Amino acid sequence: MNIFYFSGTKLPSQNAQSIHAMKMAQAFSKTEHDVTLFAGGVNNAASDDIFNIYDTEQIFKLYLSSHFNMPLVSDAKRLLTFAGKIARVGKPDLVYGHNPLELALLSPRNTPIVFEAHCLPSLPSHNWAFSKLLKQKNLHAIVVVSDVLKQAFLKKYSEIEPEDIFVAHDGADLIRHIRSSDNEVNILRGKTGALNIGYTGSLAPGKGIALITRIAKIRPEYNFHIIGGKKKHVQKLETKNTLKNLHFYGYRDHAEIPSYLETFDITVAPYQHRALIKTGHNMSRWISPMKVFEYMAAQKPIICSDLPTIHEILKHEHNALLLPASDEHKWGEAIDMIKDNPEEGQRLARNAYENLKDKYTWDKRAQAITDLCFHKHQSPRLSKAL
């Protein structure tokens, strides 16, 4: 099957969606499909560099448009560039993507469309485009990353039936590709011999950096490491930081993350009840956190905030410890418990890894979605839509 995959993001980029798109394009390709991934290009980055940054095999085509700092100009240029590419290469068997505007405007007539959503459409242009998609006969399915998000779609859009929406949580690679010669991690900062607690990901509001800071303050005997974040955010936090056991490393390419995870004793995902995206909307109720799956793949004990959507993936005292999102004392106690009972930490990590292997690899996700596409190809489009 020939798949056009519209990523809805720029490459390379620090956002999680860029990782998601590259990993899914690779996974779709492994199911023996011919995949072309469309994305916005940044700083004339070469395709070879992008594949290396995301530690993906060059088994799919990557088509990049020029990117400008003016959003409206960049969006228009991207759409025109993609339209020209599609006109030259011909009609695919399936159009898959995250950006409803790209799907609505660029999908060839009568080609099956599958829309993947990580949140409800919120931008005016995306609301218009999604409404247009719902009226098209070739919208075959909607994929979402959590059951909570599925329920939100069903509540908002009466023309959608439960069987029209497929839940596929995010994932991670089962095998960790650690290229020590290319991505060698420097010795972690902090006290030698101390327990190393690690976080990887964004420093945006709602990700829990303030909670990590409070935990570090009441547990000075442990090292806390934060990998990720935009340069301006890292500089701001480092300027404010007075703790000798809290260390910021800044952004690292995705291919380097497994090497950092390898050095941690415990991983933390301190999501807060409000995690805002650029549009100002709260994402915490819908998330399928990619970092959690990467922690599972690393076979490290996980301590995570106890949010409703997390229950779809993690179970308290089975494959993680789930704690109140704002209580640093309970988090400190949980870290103490794992330190004092290493066999318990190993049990949690082992269970998490087995759960990942059984349900949450990128390859399994791609296969499930591919099976869905074949099934929907034989059946009518969205059940109630006109």
Tens digits of per-residue pLDDT, 63-76?
A: 998 765 555 556 78
The mean per-residue pLDDT over the stretch 51-68 comes to: 90
Residue 227 has a pLDDT of 97
Does residue 183 surpass a pLDDT of 80?
no
Mark whether 50 and 128 lie in a shared domain. Answer: yes
How many Cα atoms occupy the beta-carbon half-sphere of 218 within 13 Å?
15
**Residue 190: inside a domain:** no
Which CATH number characterizes residue 270's domain? 3.40.50.2000
**Residue 120: inside a domain:** yes
**Residue 20: inside a domain:** yes
Q: What span, in angstroms and rounded, lies between the C-alpha atoms of 381 and 386?
A: 10
The mean per-residue pLDDT over the stretch 155-171 comes to: 96
**Residue 284: inside a domain:** yes
The mean per-residue pLDDT over the stretch 128-147 comes to: 96
Mark whether 157 and 285 lie in a shared domain. Answer: no
Residue 68 has a pLDDT of 55
pLDDT in tens, 189-208: 999 999 999 999 999 988 99
CA angle 338, 343, 349 (to 5 degrees): 75
Of 173, 119, 184, give the one whose Cα is nearest residue 362. 173
Mark 57-83 as b/e (b = at least 16 C-beta within 10 Å).
eeebbbbbbebeeeeeebbebbbebbe
pLDDT in tens, 325-383: 999 999 999 999 999 999 999 999 999 999 999 999 999 999 999 998 877 655 556 65
Considering the chain, what percentage of its residues have pLDDT values greater than 90?
A: 80
Residue 63 has a pLDDT of 95
pLDDT in tens, 2-40: 999 999 999 999 999 999 999 999 999 999 999 999 999
Q: Residue 305: how many CB atoms within 10 A of its CB?
A: 22
Mark whether 346 and 224 lie in a shared domain. Answer: yes
**Residues in contact with 28: Cβ distance below 8 Å, sequence separation at least 6, in sequence order:** 3, 5, 35, 60, 96, 366, 369, 370
**Residue 103: inside a domain:** yes
Mark whether 202 and 339 lie in a shared domain. Answer: yes
Residue 178 has a pLDDT of 46
Residue 77 has a pLDDT of 80
Considering the chain, what percentage of its residues have pLDDT values greater than 70?
A: 89
**Residue 205: inside a domain:** yes
- Binned at pLDDT 50, 70 and 90, residue 283 comes out as low
Which residue shows structure tokens 């410890």?
321
Q: What span, in angstroms and rounded, lies between the C-alpha atoms of 245 and 196?
A: 10
Does residue 219 surpass a pLDDT of 90?
yes
The mean per-residue pLDDT over the stretch 240-259 comes to: 95
Mark whether 225 and 118 lie in a shared domain. Answer: no
**Residue 61: inside a domain:** yes
Mark whether 239 and 114 lie in a shared domain. Answer: no
**Residue 184: inside a domain:** no
Containing structural domain, residue 161: 2-171+362-377
Contact 57, 26 (CB under 8 A): yes
Mark whether 328 and 367 lie in a shared domain. Answer: no
Residue 73 has a pLDDT of 54
**Residue of higher predicted confidence among 186 and 88:** 88
Mark whether 139 and 273 lie in a shared domain. Answer: no
Which residue shows structure tokens 């964004």?
202
Residue 213 has a pLDDT of 98
Residue 45 has a pLDDT of 84
> What is the domain count for the chain?
2
Give pTM, 2 decimals.
0.92
Residue 8 has a pLDDT of 92
Mark whether 89 and 231 lie in a shared domain. Answer: no
N-term to C-term CA, the chain: 27
Mark whether 319 and 296 lie in a shared domain. Answer: yes
Q: Residue 43: how many CB atoms within 10 A of its CB?
A: 8
Residue 72 has a pLDDT of 56
Q: What span, in angstroms and rounded, lies between the C-alpha atoms of 104 and 62?
A: 21
**Residue of higher predicted confidence among 335 and 83:** 335
The mean per-residue pLDDT over the stretch 162-175 comes to: 93
* C-alpha dist (Å) from residue 258 to 75, 91, 106, 185, 194: 33, 38, 36, 10, 20
Residue 299 has a pLDDT of 97
Mark whether 317 and 370 lie in a shared domain. Answer: no
Mark whether 266 and 331 lie in a shared domain. Answer: yes
Q: What span, in angstroms and rounded, lies between the C-alpha atoms of 289 and 281?
A: 17
Mean pLDDT (the chain, rounded): 90
Q: What span, in angstroms and rounded, lies between the C-alpha atoms of 132 and 126?
A: 10
pLDDT in tens, 97-135: 999 999 999 999 999 999 999 999 999 999 999 999 999
Contact 18, 42 (CB under 8 A): no
